[in-house]
Amino acid sequence: MAYRIIEIRISPTVEFKLRLKHGLTGDFVREVVQFPQIVKGSWVTDLTYGKRLLVRANLSQSRTLIAYLYQNHLDPEVWHLGTAWVETRKNK
């Protein structure tokens, strides 16, 4: 399903993890996922992390940004980033 993510909030802890572990920045994730972009996503439920939106945004033919977002209960247009990374696919 397609989603329009209006606002993504990123905690300092998640920003630090993005930079250290995945070589990304919060600004980059916002640029790729946040409106005016339209991204593909699906709801997933995990025993540890609960219900969250799994978003996939194509960066190129071989690279996809994967992000997990939590919807703000008070404002459905605001999302909180759980994590994100770039997945690379090998061409056959």
Q: Give yes or no for residue 92 having a pLDDT over 70.
A: no
Report the C-alpha gap between 16 and 89 in whole angstroms: 26
Structural domain tally of the chain? 1
pLDDT at 70: 96
DSSP result, 9-37: E--HHHHHHIIIIIS--HHHHHHHHBTT-
| 80 and 69 Cβ atoms separated by less than 8 Å | yes
Domain that holds residue 42: 2-88
Q: Is the pTM of this model over 0.75?
A: yes
Its sign, for the CA torsion 38, 2, 92, 22, is positive
Compute the chain's Rg from CA coordinates. Answer: 13
